[in-house]
Amino acid sequence: RRFFDEHASLPPWFDQHRARRAQRWASARLFHVTASLFCASLPIAYAGARGARVLTSTGSMQGKRLDRRVNETAQFVMDVLEDGGFSSRGSAIRAIQKVRLMHAAVRAHLVERGAIADEVPINQEDLLGTLFTFSVVVVRSLRLLGIPVDDEEADDHYQLWRVAGAMLGIDQRLLPI
């Protein structure tokens, strides 16, 4: 309960107007955004050697657990992209908190087991890479599909995920503006 209370605040640079604009933009292109996530972002994220070792070590990439992993990721994305998701009644903040806690639990479990000895699992670099697959890769994929995305829309979408990244615990000094 303390964690949820202490980590419920948005970063001071959060812009509600831009977030809502990005959420509406994504909702209007939901089919293409979803296709980009499933056909580009997730394969890129899952193909990264370091991240794949974590996923393999947890068993998340096998059988029904893979379906569950993909569905949980999809729900997380939908919560972040939900129009008004960062409002007091929205689902984005709670979803981000849950993912942050899950990452911490997996990290602690893998370290305790010694499953990945030469690195910290789900570290800052891993989180930043994943953030880029949910933001930059999606915009790039949409453009490759011939879906028009102007620079302001792309930047709003990135800023939305930048907020999510900060709340997931990425050191804000590492987040490009």
Q: What pLDDT was estimated at residue 60?
A: 77
Determine the residue type at 14.
F
pLDDT at residue 51 is higher than 80: no
**What's the rounded Cα separation, in Å, for the pair 127 and 96?**
13
**pLDDT (tens digit per residue) in 71-120:** 999 999 999 999 999 998 899 999 999 999 999 999 999 888 887 777 88
Q: Transcribe 51-90 into DSSP letters.
A: HHHHHHHHTTTSHHHHHHHHHHHHHHHHHHHSTTTTSTT-
Q: What pLDDT was estimated at residue 48?
A: 78
pLDDT at residue 5 is higher than 90: no
pLDDT at residue 134 is higher than 90: yes
Whole-prediction pTM: 0.92
